[in-house]
A and B are shown apart, each in its own frame.
Chain A
């Protein structure tokens, strides 16, 4: 199992490496010069060349990439703006802030948003799915299934403004979404995030309802579940100890895959509600052709996804002894 994890970590590093190359190539392939955005009204060829030189954009792409890798691992004090300790993504072209500290500033917002939403949709989605499977064929099941079907065909950019319009501006039931530090004021952290959580988790919850229901129904038809019933185990024991255990594997697998779309959903949610998170930052960095920031956000997000995927793989081993002992 340990071997498996080490192998996965090596694989993840390779993927990050390739991703950074792809981002680099794409950046230089886009016909937009960051210098043009930076030099403003006083633009002339000389100032552009000057900016290019300052940013290092006049060097060959391979050399720029090498410098990037070197800085990432070892840090650098070559920047005009000041020192840049490892992991160094340089300074933003646009704001001149250190990319790493910008990321760290924005991280709590995104983590609060995504983790909170994940807790919401896992609890609500799996709970509803289990209930529907337990009471299969009843009105409860049919309502849950139909509701989940409708909701999972919605889109975040539709639900977001709608929730904002109805729940905040019309009825004033909820505060306007905002991010407040948890350490500063937990209550306003919570109330400010309720709407984003609801918006981001609704569709996922519906999808997880359907998935949990079908996984449970499939498991309940497994022979080993029937054996457990034939032994005299109670229905709830069989449901939660036998069927649920088997359902966890597909659910955990999908959850691992969904982390990427969760981050994608977070970008839209942050943008919709003006929350200062990584998603908003990513949009900005693309808008301003801000290579250091773009690379920083991309690699940071990718690392998060890969780490979580490795965690997910490791949980297989806890769930399934066949994985653990092979």
Chain B
């Protein structure tokens, strides 16, 4: 597997040049009922998994969706592929509203939107051969490619870097990374226009992750397939996606092109998230310039999210206004085009690494205060 070191030029030139809008999501909402009550069980609350998000994916573009567990990113993926039906809002695929489409209406679109799942162990049927797993979508959709399905499956196996002769093997004969390649081949079988990849590499070992990321990137570039790339790993999303949206508790709190989000984050949460990623420093001196923001506690429950801005309970900039008024996702002054932020009191649009040390965690603060009282130096 000899691969070019440098990627070919991207097909789309980012959000400015408006490629065809492949997928458009408006006000997408999914609430899961919480059952309870007495004596008759009824709905007593809603898990607001996804709460009114807007996003657009252009043809051939790779769009990243990041956030921590419970932020609704996986649910969003399932809503877009219509594995779930949204509570409210619309999903428009190539101009057609598919948010409540029936199975029959969805059938032709299903072949164009495919999904890759996180767990390569449970997402492949252990009793089916690789051949029938990959040709399954073609059979269901009644597609007969030239030269027959078997030939097509062999081609697909070759594309994803597996031996075409392994057509008749079973999933358990493959390693985790190879299984994920089978998952990719299955997704490619119907020549989709959009692939929703939900944490496609997070179950894999580091050395294997890179293989699969490269495969996905190659597929994206060679076949011009648009990706909705859902992951919690900020570095991988940055590597893979041209535009990125950050989710927190069911909302998109910031969206924009990659460089804008990663170098000039305006939302305090994006900022905290980036500063929390532990990094290998390759320079020979201690940079020491990395800011350190330590939030307090965990993400609140999506059953009763905080009023106003949902991040305010963990935000060091929160004021009264944040509790009463929900910030809109808009382009605030200082943002590049297409960079939207939902915050009343955004961070400065600097490109410099700020040397802030914001510690909101009470235990950390106490321990560090005690340590500095002892006259010790922080490393």
> Footprint of B on A, CB under 8 Å?
3, 6-7, 10
Contact = CB atoms under 8 A, between A and B. Distances in A.
B39 interface: yes
A6 B41 CA distance: 12
8 contacts: A3-B38, A3-B39, A6-B38, A6-B39, A7-B38, A7-B39, A7-B41, A10-B39
Interface residue tally on B, bucketed by range: under 10
A6 B38 CA distance: 9
Interface string B16-53: 00000000000000000000001101000000000000
Given A3-B38, A6-B39, 6 more contacts: A3-B39, A6-B38, A7-B38, A7-B39, A7-B41, A10-B39
A252 to B, nearest CB: 24
Contacts of A6: 38-39
B41 to A, nearest CB: 8
Interface in B295-321: none
Contacts of B41: 7
Per CB-CB distance, the 8 closest pairs between chain A and chain B, nearest first, are A3-B38, A6-B39, A7-B39, A3-B39, A10-B39, A6-B38, A7-B38, A7-B41
A3 B39 CA distance: 7
Interface of B: 38-39, 41
A7 B41 CA distance: 9
Contacts of A10: 39
Contacts, number: 8
A3 B42 CA distance: 13
Contacts of B38: 3, 6-7
Nearest to A10: B39
A223 to B, nearest CB: 19
A251 B76 CA distance: 40
Contacts of A3: 38-39
Nearest to B38: A3
A3 B37 CA distance: 9
A240 B39 CA distance: 38
Nearest to A2: B38
A3 B44 CA distance: 15
B193 to A, nearest CB: 43
B5 to A, nearest CB: 43
A128 to B, nearest CB: 35
B363 to A, nearest CB: 22
Nearest to B37: A3
A7 B39 CA distance: 7
B35 to A, nearest CB: 11
Nearest to B41: A7
A3 to B, nearest CB: 5
Contacts of B39: 3, 6-7, 10
A188 B134 CA distance: 72
A10 B38 CA distance: 12
A278 to B, nearest CB: 33
Nearest to A4: B38
A9 to B, nearest CB: 11
A7 B38 CA distance: 9
A3 B38 CA distance: 7
A326 to B, nearest CB: 10
B288 to A, nearest CB: 37
A326 B41 CA distance: 14
B303 to A, nearest CB: 14
A154 B39 CA distance: 45
Nearest to A6: B39
A86 B39 CA distance: 28
A6 B37 CA distance: 12
A6 B39 CA distance: 8
B45 to A, nearest CB: 14
A3 B36 CA distance: 10
B301 to A, nearest CB: 14
A200 B38 CA distance: 42
A310 to B, nearest CB: 16
A296 to B, nearest CB: 30
Nearest to A3: B38
A323 to B, nearest CB: 15
A155 to B, nearest CB: 34
Contacts of A7: 38-39, 41
A96 B39 CA distance: 43
A10 B40 CA distance: 11
Nearest to A7: B39
B295 to A, nearest CB: 27
A134 to B, nearest CB: 33
A10 B39 CA distance: 10
B134 to A, nearest CB: 36
B172 to A, nearest CB: 22
